[in-house]
């Protein structure tokens, strides 16, 4: 039976016993009461702390007898102290299977009495199946015939989850840094120590197992201009507390070069003093190369001879190169935002819909059209547009070439072609081997060979056999040396009929002065030849007749002389003309 402190004091005051006897009993009761209160306070404290305590004795036979489990065990494990007091098997039944081998070995070591202190972290399974991490700090004290073991168990689930999350975050960060080709560095102000992470070594092409490069070697890691800019940026960041970012040219140990973005940020302590510079490097070599290629491409388009026009699906110009601006007479700022309808008088909304249909289905569109300059004048153009899909949007990338000169030349060529086609003279073009590549209609009309029959043939198909071989040798020698040859041929038609041609044959040269073709312009002179032959025959007949007449008159004269002997010989001698007449 328990008594209050007031009851004990009253009992002591009313007692008639001697002081030595009467005072002994109340003192004992006060001690018990103080002990009880102390135990209650201890239990209260133990129940309020997040950890739980346990205590056990291990006898010389290795038997474990639990002496105590604090109430906090139920908060952590979900089981009351009585559950564990029945023996270590109960405790082992709560250990996660993955940790069981390690914990069993630890228990065996404890039972063997070594070491005297140890800490184990392991998982336990609660009655509802959830898993928690705990840390068990064990202290052993050897006693006579037994070993006293005391432990303090803490719930470290939150810490473990944080560590796991941190490890996962670090792994993801490492993967991200690897994917982004980034490395991390840190420089300490106090001792000038510089540290790198694994990615930094990889980017710089250095072996992390080798000695860390000293200051002189660090300077050689960068192109001189980059190193100077990096030093200035670091000094300025330390002085002002402003982060920096700059492009750097890295030189690897093997001599290869890479481009980096170097970033740095100052870090301060609790007093506001800058104690560290921390930052990253990122390999941007491929991006730099791509930027240079894009710059070169854009520059090439900017200075391209033809006009370049990029439009969106509203047919508005979003880019025009220098040639395009010059051709239309606009400044670039004036053209951006205008539509194709503003510069192409032949364009229409319906027509542009058809253009986009072609672009989407075929990937390109081309035609000849007309552009109108700012001053209202118009000029012919050849348009070629390509479909471009980018970033979920559609664009037309087009080029327009001013074909005014080409149209003029085409007109001239058209006139020349008509002149050749309608020419009364035969026109034949061959390659330098003499193979026919073109004949005009007059050739067919004269020879009876169609253009299809003549193509690929040699003009020898017209050969009659009446022209000396020396004439042909002279022809080829003349034209292949760059000269012009003029002469006449007696040729044979497809039907075998002979005809005469007066030919002029000249070489055709390319822009480099190389003879590529031969041009023959020939005139049918058959009738002229016949007329000449007729005149020649008439002339020969007349000459024969004149000779005959002369012979007759000579005979008559002689006869006359012999018939008149009285004529004075002196007269005949002195006036022979008179005699002849």
3-state secondary structure 46-83: HHHCCCEEEEEEEECCCCEEEEEECCHHHHHHCCCHHH
R_g of the chain computed on alpha carbons = 60
Fold of 303-407: Beta-Lactamase (3.30.450)
Fold of 423-524: Beta-Lactamase (3.30.450)
Task: Provide the pLDDT for residue 39.
Answer: 63
pLDDT at 17 over 70: no
- Dmax over Cα atoms in the chain, in whole Å? 239
Task: Provide the pLDDT for residue 298.
Answer: 84
- Specify the higher pLDDT residue, 33 or 11: 33
265-276 pLDDT tens trace:
999 998 899 999
Sign of the CA dihedral 463, 467, 469, 473?
A: negative
* 49-161 shares its CATH topology with 180-289: yes
Q: Where are the domains of the chain?
A: 5-44, 49-161, 180-289, 303-407, 423-524
CATH of domain 49-161: 3.30.450.20
Among 147, 116, 126, 122, smallest CA distance to 136 is for 122
Rounded to an integer, what distance in angstroms lies between the CA atom of residue 315 and that of residue 306? 19
Task: Provide the pLDDT for residue 580.
Answer: 40
* Average confidence score pLDDT of the chain: 86
312-356 pLDDT tens trace:
999 999 999 999 999 999 999 999 999 999 999 999 999 999 999
- Mean of pLDDT values over 107-118: 81
Task: Give the model's confidence band at 452: pLDDT under 50 very low, under 70 low, under 90 confident, else very high.
Answer: very high
**Least confident among 116-125, 167-176, 459-468:** 167-176
Omega before 115 within 30 of 0, i.e. cis: yes
Residue 211 DSSP one-character state? P
Q: What CA–CA distances, in Å, run from 147 to 41, 57, 102, 141, 521? A: 28, 6, 22, 6, 129
Task: Give the model's confidence band at 571: pLDDT under 50 very low, under 70 low, under 90 confident, else very high.
Answer: very low
CB 127 within 8 A of CB 79: yes
% the chain with pLDDT above 70: 88
Q: How many CB atoms lie within 10 A of CB 446?
A: 21
143-198 pLDDT tens trace:
887 889 999 999 999 999 988 888 877 777 667 666 667 888 999 999 888 888 88
The token pair at 386 is 């390509």
The token pair at 132 is 């928690």
Residue pointed to by tokens 């470290």: 156
- Specify the higher pLDDT residue, 287 or 95: 95
207-254 pLDDT tens trace:
888 877 887 888 899 999 999 999 999 999 999 999 999 999 999 999
Task: Provide the pLDDT for residue 167.
Answer: 82
- Specify the higher pLDDT residue, 380 or 215: 380
Rounded to an integer, what distance in angstroms lies between the CA atom of residue 471 and that of residue 29? 157
Task: Provide the pLDDT for residue 3.
Answer: 44
Task: Give the model's confidence band at 260: pLDDT under 50 very low, under 70 low, under 90 confident, else very high.
Answer: very high
The pTM assigned to this predicted structure is 0.45
pLDDT at 132 over 70: yes
- Specify the higher pLDDT residue, 561 or 408: 408
Task: Provide the pLDDT for residue 114.
Answer: 74
- Specify the higher pLDDT residue, 555 or 534: 534
Give the number of residues written for the chain: 581
Please name the residues in contact with 577: beta carbons below 8 A apart, sequence gap of 6 or more: none
Helix (H) or strand (E) holding 165: helix 157-179
- Chain centroid, CA 126 distance in Å: 56
Task: Provide the pLDDT for residue 10.
Answer: 44
Residue 213 DSSP one-character state? P
Task: Give the model's confidence band at 518: pLDDT under 50 very low, under 70 low, under 90 confident, else very high.
Answer: very high
CB 149 within 8 A of CB 117: no
274-317 pLDDT tens trace:
999 999 999 999 888 888 888 888 888 888 889 999 999 999 99
Q: Is 255 left (phi over 0), alpha (psi -120 to 50) or beta?
A: left
Rounded to an integer, what distance in angstroms lies between the CA atom of residue 246 and that of residue 263? 7
Task: Provide the pLDDT for residue 574.
Answer: 46
Beta strands 317-320 and 307-311, pairing class = antiparallel
CATH of domain 180-289: 3.30.450.20
């Amino acid at each position: 039976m328990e008594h209050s402190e007031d009851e004990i004091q009253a009992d002591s005051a009313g007692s008639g016993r001697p002081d030595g006897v009467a005072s002994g009993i109340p003192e004992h009761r006060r001690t018990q009461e103080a002990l009880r209160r102390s135990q209650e306070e201890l239990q209260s404290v133990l129940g309020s702390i997040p950890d739980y305590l346990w205590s056990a004795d291990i006898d010389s036979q290795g038997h474990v007898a639990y002496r105590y489990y604090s109430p906090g065990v139920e908060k952590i494990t979900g089981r009351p102290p009585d559950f564990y007091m029945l023996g270590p098997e109960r405790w082992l039944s709560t250990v996660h299977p993955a940790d069981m081998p390690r914990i069993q070995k630890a228990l065996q070591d404890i039972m063997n009495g070594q070491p005297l202190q140890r800490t184990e972290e392991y998982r336990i399974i609660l009655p509802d199946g959830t898993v928690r991490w705990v840390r068990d700090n064990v202290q052993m004290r050897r006693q006579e015939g037994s070993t006293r073991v005391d432990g303090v168990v803490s719930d470290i689930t939150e810490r473990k989850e944080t560590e796991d999350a941190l490890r996962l975050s670090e792994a993801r960060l490492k993967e991200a840094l690897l994917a982004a080709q980034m490395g991390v560095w840190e420089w300490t102000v106090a001792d000038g120590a510089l540290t790198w992470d694994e990615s930094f070594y990889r980017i710089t092409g250095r072996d992390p197992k080798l000695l860390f490069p000293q200051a002189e070697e660090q300077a050689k890691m960068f192109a001189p201009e980059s190193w100077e800019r990096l030093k200035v940026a670091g000094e300025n960041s330390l002085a002002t507390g402003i982060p920096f970012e700059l492009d750097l040219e890295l030189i690897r140990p093997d001599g290869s070069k890479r481009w980096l973005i170097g970033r740095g940020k100052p870090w301060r302590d609790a007093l506001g003093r800058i104690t560290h510079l921390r930052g990253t490097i990122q390999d941007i070599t491929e991006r730099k190369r791509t930027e240079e290629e894009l710059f070169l491409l854009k520059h090439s388009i900017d200075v391209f001879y033809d006009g370049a026009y990029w439009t969106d699906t509203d047919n508005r110009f979003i880019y025009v190169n220098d040639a395009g601006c010059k051709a239309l007479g606009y400044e670039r700022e004036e053209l951006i935002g205008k539509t194709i309808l503003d510069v192409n008088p032949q364009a229409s909304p319906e027509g542009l819909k058809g253009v986009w249909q072609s672009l989407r289905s075929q990937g390109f569109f081309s035609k000849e059209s007309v552009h109108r300059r700012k001053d209202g004048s118009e000029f012919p153009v050849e348009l070629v547009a390509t479909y471009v899909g980018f970033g979920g949007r559609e664009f037309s990338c087009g080029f327009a070439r001013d074909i005014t000169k080409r149209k003029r030349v085409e007109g001239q060529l058209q006139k020349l072609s008509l002149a050749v086609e309608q020419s009364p003279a035969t026109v034949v073009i061959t390659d330098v081997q003499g193979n026919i590549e073109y004949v005009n209609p007059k050739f067919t009309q004269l020879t009876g060979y169609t253009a299809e029959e003549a193509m690929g043939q040699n003009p020898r198909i017209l050969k009659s056999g009446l022209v000396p071989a020396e004439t042909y040798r002279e022809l080829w020698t003349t034209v292949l040396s760059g000269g012009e040859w003029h002469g006449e041929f007696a040729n044979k038609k497809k039907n075998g009929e002979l005809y005469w041609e007066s030919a002029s044959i000249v070489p055709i040269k390319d822009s480099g002065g190389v003879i590529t073709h031969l041009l023959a312009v020939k005139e049918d002179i058959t009738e002229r030849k016949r007329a000449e032959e007729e005149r020649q025959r008439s002339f020969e007949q007349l000459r024969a007749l004149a000779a005959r007449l002369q012979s007759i008159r000579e005979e008559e004269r002689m006869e006359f002389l012999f018939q008149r002997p009285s004529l004075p010989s002196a007269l005949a001698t002195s006036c022979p003309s008179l005699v002849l007449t």
